[in-house]
C-alpha cells in the first residue's frame, strides 16, 4: 500500500474530517502538523511536483499572510524562498494537503479522497455493491 501523508493544522476542520475519513477506511497515514512542525524543503518539492499549477494550488488566499504579500510576490519566489516563507508563515499553506508518491489532494473532498483507497479494495467494494443491488 502507498504511503499517505497528510499536512494539517489543528484548527482546520477540513483536515480533521480528512483524517477521520482515512481512519474510518482503515488507511495508514502520517500526519504532519505544519503549524508546529515546519514543512521540509523535500516535502514542499514533492507536493509541488504533484500540482498542476504550482504554488498557487497550495497557498491559502484567505490567510492574513497572503493578504500581506499577495500572489505576485509569491509567484516571484524561488522554491527555497517559498520554503522559507511557508516555514515562517504556515498559515499560507492550504490544509489539508493529502499526498502519496503520485497522488495529491488539496482540501477535503469525500469523493476525491476515495482515490487513496487501493484500487483492488475499491474494485471489491464496487463488486459487492453491484451484487447487493442485483439481489434487491
Catalytic residues: 12
DSSP structure class, residue 28: -
CB-based contact 110:98 (threshold 8 Å): no
SS (H, E, C) 69-113: HHHHHHHCCCHHHHHHHHHHCHHHECCCEEECCCCEEECCCCCHH
Segment (H or E) for 29: strand 29-33
Amino acid at each position: 500500500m502507498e504511503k499517505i501523508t497528510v499536512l494539517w493544522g489543528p484548527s482546520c476542520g477540513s483536515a480533521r474530517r480528512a483524517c477521520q475519513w482515512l481512519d474510518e477506511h482503515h488507511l495508514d497515514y502520517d500526519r504532519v502538523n505544519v503549524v508546529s512542525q515546519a514543512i521540509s524543503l523535500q516535502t514542499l518539492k514533492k507536493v509541488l511536483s504533484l500540482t498542476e499549477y504550482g504554488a498557487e494550488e497550495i497557498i491559502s488566499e484567505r490567510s492574513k499572510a497572503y493578504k500581506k504579500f499577495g500572489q505576485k510576490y509569491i509567484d516571484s519566489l524561488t522554491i527555497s524562498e517559498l520554503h522559507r516563507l511557508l516555514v515562517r508563515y504556515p498559515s499560507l499553506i492550504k490544509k489539508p494537503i493529502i499526498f502519496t508518491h503520485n497522488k495529491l489532494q488539496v482540501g477535503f473532498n469525500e469523493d476525491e479522497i476515495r482515490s487513496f483507497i487501493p484500487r483492488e479494495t475499491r474494485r471489491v467494494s464496487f463488486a459487492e455493491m453491484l451484487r447487493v443491488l442485483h439481489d434487491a
